Amino acid sequence: MKYIKSIVESMRMSPTIGRGSVVLIKGAANRDGRYLYATTIKGYTEIKPGVKMVHLDVPMYRVIVKEGSLYGRKVDYRREDGLTGMLNTKYPDSVSIVLNNNKTPFHWETVKHTDIGTALRSLGSRLFMHDIIF
């Protein structure tokens, strides 16, 4: 019985995904590398157990580092090369992406936050370990 968790323990460990939760999106590779984008979630759908598709809010921001601080620049996801092909834009009213570590780095931590700045600060230097350029 020592390996079985109570329902209270398992609920505490799983991140809460809800309206306003933050998600980071690793952009597609281009000649300069990859950019990092940030936005919030309108809602989500569980496609199958453990696989979640999140519906994203617009506007989206590209994360930029200036003088050691992180800033966001608003981008149009339809015109941004790094986001083309990464997002499901089949339905214009509901832009979505499936959560996984390749497309949405650190999603298990960022969905706990409802403010993009707080989510980025909580990641600290781990954010710079990925192959992302700012």
User: How far is the first Cα of the chain from the last one, in angstroms, to the nearest whole number?
Assistant: 48
User: pTM (2 decimals)?
Assistant: 0.82
Q: Compute the half-sphere exposure of residue 134: CA atoms within 13 Å on the CB side of its CA.
A: 17
**Tens-place pLDDT, residues 77-90:** 888 888 878 888 88
Q: How confident is the model at residue 131 (pLDDT cuts 50, 70, 90)?
A: low
The residue ranges of every structural domain in the chain are: 7-129
Count other Cβ atoms within 10 Å, centred on residue 87.
19
Looking at residues 56-82, what average pLDDT do you find? 88
Buried b (16+ CB within 10 A) or exposed e, 44-72: beeeeeeebebbbbeebbbbeeeeeebeb
